[in-house]
Chain A
């Protein structure tokens, strides 16, 4: 480097963090745990990996399932699906993708000890997959042990790896090295600090259902890890990053008014509710449950505390989920009615309840508590560590003395199976209220294996109605995911599944 350019570089370096015109920097809230698509269960990790590795299927920003590396898919019979693969899909190392790689990826995910002695923690995301057959180099068949209509909805969660690479370098190498078919390839992973990727020139182009097709439009993508909310926003405002995820509600005004960035929203997939301990008095009385629902002014909390960035819910499903029932009854805000119902049930005065919540939701839980107080309930909030609170409310024995649980459940596939089974089926893992209805169980179990979408929908409709009438929870809302996006960025819209796919993003 000659002297003049050295001086220039020093001056430039001193003045600002430099950004080449064709680089996109993301201020991201968490580092990836690993770069092995099969060895983690964290959404944020998948978001990062998804830019490096494509899958058989994916979703567009309207959450429709579209083919990606697969060209098409069809159901052969109740327990077999066939996928045809595109030709000429290249890995970062130059090798061409064949059906063998697909079989290898899926086997690695679903067979015990297939990952160098470890079993994939994502195994159950592919539920009843019992085997994969290679029909020809461009065709695979997936066999199921029982009918599973949501296989296409679950495939977008898995990304493809190269058989030859894993066999040569070993399964553990995938944690830090990447040889995939995604639009970007890995340049460097600075742990805890940033992940640097650059455009893969031989990218097959991506899903034709999501234009434009072709290689990535930016040279490099950098995920900068900034866990502190305020720092992430500060980085966006200072021009150090072009996109931030998990924008806090409090920063909306700032970002919109900054002149260099704006706020973009997407309906989230995480439904919030307050579970009531149905095994404990007074929650066994439906009047009390309805009263608590009528006591909450959801609109006010959404407007004031969440700055309008949430959608009120009368059930557990997102309005964009398959089988969402739009005709559920709303428990209108009516503190007078609430007090009346409580008095009728014999709890006219002095009902003392505790709302358990994690620290992150302290504010909102306190807002809920203060509304309950206005209805005559002595409600207080108790803050717990997530690691303690979650197992506590999942175990009926441990939660028997608790009252209310401010919580949420995610539904990344936007399919009711993924969320209603855990939260509302008898004995479900996330069924903290202890809700149990034989009819709902029957409906949910039947819908699991029902292949006719219209019939499935009807079953879920009925299940939602029953739950809505029984009110095992105080129904709350579905928050939107907020992103801060610099005005330099075009071609990107947020997606409800929290993916940040930068293939088609460009810098102006």
Chain B
């Protein structure tokens, strides 16, 4: 119980600190959103003034900071400068795509890393072990932006089997329930749409999953080795339980603890890092929107997004703690 409270208390200063940093960066960063918005179409100084007032940029930074915090606590994150609609609306529209991609990548990397890691540990030193190790090192060494482009060139242009970009072909009806296309299409029983969604998800999820699968595999392997060597496994074997049962019932469950912990943490960094993948694959997610917003100096959106990421990071840490407890009842929360 103490740990829960501890974690939640941690949320406060982290959020505040993150907000302060963002505000400082914004204030110190050159670039004027009003100028960007005016572009080079006909404009007058009056128009610039009107826009500046609309965006709240005619107030001093300190006042803007407190105004922002005050509004944020009530759930109001202001209007996006360029969409001229509430930031929360704009973010909420783009969030499901990022969540879906992240979850798909997470699932994929777990599916790859856990069996591989466990098998590599069991057959330590064998060819599977060595191949898996080199493979995982390869996964972590690939620059995502380059690899993504290569995948598109190969599968979409040369072979033509997978689509180039987007989430789903336009001709498919998508009843929105969760915003995650794969789940929504399944819920509605639309198999063809589901397959389309999967096809579009494939390449970006693979590009995102590979760098994550690598450390997960190594951690699974390492902790599996630990567990295999441990006393209670030897004890279980001595009791006469079949090796297979020992492995897959007892050893794996305990070996998974560090894997789950690291997976939760890596997901946090995934959210922060999938911007490049989203850009390369034209995935309409939040990451791409945030990068565009930074370049366009769309302050309200950047501020809100950073807060969102910070909250997610702390929550994921929290989940990692809870999962750790659940998988090992000996550790008290």
- Would you give the 0/1 interface string for B199-214, flagging 1 where the beta carbon is closer than 8 Å to chain A? 1000000000000000
Chain B residue nearest in CB terms to A413: B42
Binds B, one of A14-22, A76-84, A138-146: A14-22
Cβ 8 A contact of A230, one of B40, B44, B149, B296:
B149
Report whether B191 and A390 are in contact in the complex, using a CB–CB cutoff of 8 Å.
Answer: no
Report whether B32 and A235 are in contact in the complex, using a CB–CB cutoff of 8 Å.
Answer: no
- Please report the C-alpha to C-alpha distance between residue A490 and residue B41 in the assembled complex, in whole angstroms: 31
B195 interface hit (Cβ, 8 Å): yes
Chain A residue nearest in CB terms to B195: A13
A196 interface hit (Cβ, 8 Å): yes
CB contacts (< 8 Å) of A409 on chain B: these are 40
- Would you give the 0/1 interface string for B152-191, flagging 1 where the beta carbon is closer than 8 Å to chain A? 1100110010011111111100100000000000000001
Q: Chain B nearest CB: distance from A159 CB in Å? A: 15
- Please report the C-alpha to C-alpha distance between residue A385 and residue B297 in the assembled complex, in whole angstroms: 11
Those 9 A-B pairs whose CB atoms lie nearest each other, nearest first = A192-B284, A387-B31, A124-B47, A13-B192, A193-B284, A191-B93, A17-B169, A124-B44, A9-B192
- Please report the C-alpha to C-alpha distance between residue A385 and residue B196 in the assembled complex, in whole angstroms: 38
CB contacts (< 8 Å) of B284 on chain A: these are 31, 190-193, 225
- Please report the C-alpha to C-alpha distance between residue A225 and residue B97 in the assembled complex, in whole angstroms: 14
- Would you give the 0/1 interface string for A399-421, flagging 1 where the beta carbon is closer than 8 Å to chain B? 00000000001101100001000
By the criterion of a CB under 8 Å from any partner CB, how many residues of chain B are at the interface? Answer: 60
Q: List 25 A-B contacts (CB under 8 A).
A: A10-B191, A10-B192, A12-B192, A13-B193, A13-B196, A17-B171, A41-B41, A42-B39, A119-B54, A123-B47, A127-B44, A190-B170, A190-B284, A192-B93, A192-B288, A193-B168, A194-B170, A227-B288, A235-B164, A240-B164, A385-B31, A385-B295, A391-B30, A413-B42, A430-B40
CB contacts (< 8 Å) of A226 on chain B: these are 164-166, 282
A429 interface hit (Cβ, 8 Å): yes
- Please report the C-alpha to C-alpha distance between residue A190 and residue B282 in the assembled complex, in whole angstroms: 13
Report whether A112 and B50 are in contact in the complex, using a CB–CB cutoff of 8 Å.
Answer: yes
CB contacts (< 8 Å) of B30 on chain A: these are 387-388, 391-392
Report whether A418 and B50 are in contact in the complex, using a CB–CB cutoff of 8 Å.
Answer: no
Report whether B83 and A34 are in contact in the complex, using a CB–CB cutoff of 8 Å.
Answer: yes
CB contacts (< 8 Å) of A40 on chain B: these are 82, 84
Residue pairs across A and B with CB atoms within 8 Å: the count is 169
A237 interface hit (Cβ, 8 Å): yes
Report whether A41 and B37 are in contact in the complex, using a CB–CB cutoff of 8 Å.
Answer: yes
Report whether B84 and A118 are in contact in the complex, using a CB–CB cutoff of 8 Å.
Answer: yes
Q: How large is the interface on A (under 10, 10 to 19, 20 to 34, 35 or more residues)?
A: 35 or more
6 extra A-B contacts, CB within 8 A, seeds A41-B37, A235-B164: A121-B47, A127-B44, A193-B166, A194-B166, A228-B281, A410-B40
- Please report the C-alpha to C-alpha distance between residue A394 and residue B279 in the assembled complex, in whole angstroms: 30
CB contacts (< 8 Å) of B32 on chain A: these are 387, 391
CB contacts (< 8 Å) of A237 on chain B: these are 157
Q: Chain A nearest CB: distance from B55 CB in Å? A: 10
CB contacts (< 8 Å) of A33 on chain B: these are 82-84
Report whether B35 and A192 are in contact in the complex, using a CB–CB cutoff of 8 Å.
Answer: no
A154 interface hit (Cβ, 8 Å): yes
Report whether B164 and A192 are in contact in the complex, using a CB–CB cutoff of 8 Å.
Answer: no
Report whether A192 and B84 are in contact in the complex, using a CB–CB cutoff of 8 Å.
Answer: no
- Please report the C-alpha to C-alpha distance between residue A235 and residue B288 in the assembled complex, in whole angstroms: 19
CB contacts (< 8 Å) of A385 on chain B: these are 31, 295
Q: Chain B nearest CB: distance from A127 CB in Å? A: 7
A267 interface hit (Cβ, 8 Å): no
CB contacts (< 8 Å) of B83 on chain A: these are 33-34, 175
Report whether A386 and B295 are in contact in the complex, using a CB–CB cutoff of 8 Å.
Answer: yes
Report whether B285 and A192 are in contact in the complex, using a CB–CB cutoff of 8 Å.
Answer: yes
Chain A residue nearest in CB terms to B38: A41
Cβ 8 A contact of B195, one of A14, A16, A196, A234:
A14
Report whether B164 and A222 are in contact in the complex, using a CB–CB cutoff of 8 Å.
Answer: no
Chain A residue nearest in CB terms to B159: A238
A98 interface hit (Cβ, 8 Å): no
- Please report the C-alpha to C-alpha distance between residue A430 and residue B35 in the assembled complex, in whole angstroms: 11
- Please report the C-alpha to C-alpha distance between residue A14 and residue B97 in the assembled complex, in whole angstroms: 22
A231 interface hit (Cβ, 8 Å): yes
Report whether B44 and A225 are in contact in the complex, using a CB–CB cutoff of 8 Å.
Answer: no
- Please report the C-alpha to C-alpha distance between residue A240 and residue B171 in the assembled complex, in whole angstroms: 12
Cβ 8 A contact of A227, one of B54, B153, B282:
B282
Kindly name the residue among A17, A112, A430 whose own CB sees the greatest number of chain B CB atoms within 10 A.
Answer: A17
- Would you give the 0/1 interface string for B9-30, flagging 1 where the beta carbon is closer than 8 Å to chain A? 0000000000000000000011
- Would you give the 0/1 interface string for A117-132, flagging 1 where the beta carbon is closer than 8 Å to chain B? 0110101110100000
